[in-house]
Amino acid sequence: MFTWLRNRWQRTGMTAYLSHPDCLKHNMGVGHPECPERLTAIRDQLMAAQLFDFLDEVEAPEVTREQLARVHSPGYVDYLESCAPSVGTFRLDPDTAMSPGTLPAARRAAGAVVRAVDLVLGGAAPNAFCAVRPPGHHAESARSMGFCFFNNVAVGAAHALAQHRLERVAIVDFDVHHGNGTEEIFKDDPRVLMVSTFQHPFYPYSGDTPLGPNMCNVPLKAGSKGDAFRAAVEAHWLPALDAFRPQMIFVSAGFDAHREDDMGSLGLVEADYEWVTRQLAALAARHCQGRIVSVLEGGYELSALARSVVAHLRVLSEA
């Protein structure tokens, strides 16, 4: 089945949709917002919108220790492996817990982004979306937090730099929470430009003071809606990205800034996610042959999450 999907995808050149059943097995407990139903809601909505037929589903591989070591310390990886329970849950912090399915899911989530990079840079797909969990942008080089274990987008960006020898990659993060882990990993790395918007002050209570000159962080006040978000993108992100001329664009695609998502207090709607994706697609067409790898981060109100992903993927599938 996987070989057939891969060959079909290589022939058609459609947007690659990377996921794996293991990503459904990570479970932090009843009532936890970062739940397996997030992925099933996305898939169901893509089918209802008749968009799934325009995507090519690719099974995510497991990340290797070598790939993880580009952004995470070996001691940290060893620590996570030592904490993995065989039954029940092991709590790493008040928000973040491991179940027996956590490490397999986290390995597939990071591996999906590595595979997406290989496929897009190999020319077999114009772009890719990684429908994976757990999310990753809060995970620092040696610290898990905020529902995150491995920093998926950082693993993929580091792979593009090391394995494919790219000289410049950009990471775009529009989650309601600041991507502190991605910033900590890439601060002062001139090969990486990170641009982000996030609610502030808000968890993880960082980002208002950038850690390096390669960070373009735009805090938004609680209650900000699409007009403030779009103004930030036009005034800050786009000029920085155009000046940087990335050879590949990564997106930490968190949809919890949606007005229906009670994890934050911003007011974005599907039209805002469609708009920003169009801006990024146009920028990618100017600088990097359309190469975009988008990775799911937050988004916890299931209907709003699924509708927002459809808006995002509708643009990518047209690029």
Is the pLDDT score of 7 beyond 60? no
Per-residue confidence (pLDDT) for residue 16, from 0 to 100: 98
Residues contacting 41, CB < 8 A, separation 6+: 302, 303, 305, 306
32-79 pLDDT tens trace:
999 999 999 999 999 999 999 999 999 999 999 999 999 999 999 999
Q: Residues for the chain: how many in total? A: 319
Average pLDDT, the chain: 96
Per-residue confidence (pLDDT) for residue 247, from 0 to 100: 98
Per-residue confidence (pLDDT) for residue 140, from 0 to 100: 98
Residue whose token pair is 């973040």: 96
Q: Which of 282, 312, 280, 286 is nearest to 299 (CA)?
A: 312
Nearest 5 degrees, angle CA 275-CA 47-CA 269? Answer: 25
Average pLDDT (272-283) is: 98
For a pLDDT cut of 70, what percent of the chain falls above it? Answer: 96
Average pLDDT (233-257) is: 98
Per-residue confidence (pLDDT) for residue 3, from 0 to 100: 38
CA distances from residue 194 to 67, 219, 228, 295 in whole angstroms, order as listed: 20, 14, 19, 15
13 pLDDT tier (thresholds 50, 70, 90) = confident
Nearest-angstrom CA–CA distance, 319 and 317: 6
Q: How far apart are the first and last CA of the chain?
A: 27
Average pLDDT (274-278) is: 98
DSSP for 202-230, written as a single string: -TT---SS-SSTTEEEEEE-TT-BHHHHH
32 is annotated as an active-site residue = no
Cis peptide before 239 (omega within 30 of 0): no
Average pLDDT (106-120) is: 98
178-195 pLDDT tens trace:
999 999 999 999 999 999
Residues contacting 241, CB < 8 A, separation 6+: 170, 172, 193, 195, 249, 283, 287
Using N-to-C axis directions, what is the helix angle for 37-48 and 302-318, rounded to 10°?
A: 50
DSSP for residue 268:
B
Per-residue confidence (pLDDT) for residue 6, from 0 to 100: 41
Per-residue confidence (pLDDT) for residue 208, from 0 to 100: 97
CA distances from residue 110 to 23, 58, 156, 273 in whole angstroms, order as listed: 11, 14, 7, 23
Q: Which of 178, 255, 270, 267 is nearest to 222 (CA)?
A: 267
Structure tokens at 172: 């775009």
Is the pLDDT score of 310 beyond 70? yes
Nearest-angstrom CA–CA distance, 287 and 179: 24
Residue type, position 78, single letter = D
Q: What domains does the chain contain, in order, with CATH numbers?
A: 2-318 (3.40.800.20)
Which one from 72, 137, 138, 200 is the annotated catalytic residue? 138
74-88 pLDDT tens trace:
999 999 999 999 999
294 pLDDT tier (thresholds 50, 70, 90) = very high
Maximal CA-CA distance, the chain: 50
The SS3 of residue 165 is coil
The SS3 of residue 29 is coil
For a pLDDT cut of 90, what percent of the chain falls above it? Answer: 96
The SS3 of residue 31 is coil
Is the pLDDT score of 11 beyond 70? no
Could you count the other beta carbons within 10 Å of the beta carbon of residue 76? 20
Per-residue confidence (pLDDT) for residue 37, from 0 to 100: 98
DSSP for 43-71, written as a single string: HHHHHHTT-GGGEEEEEPPPPPHHHHHTT
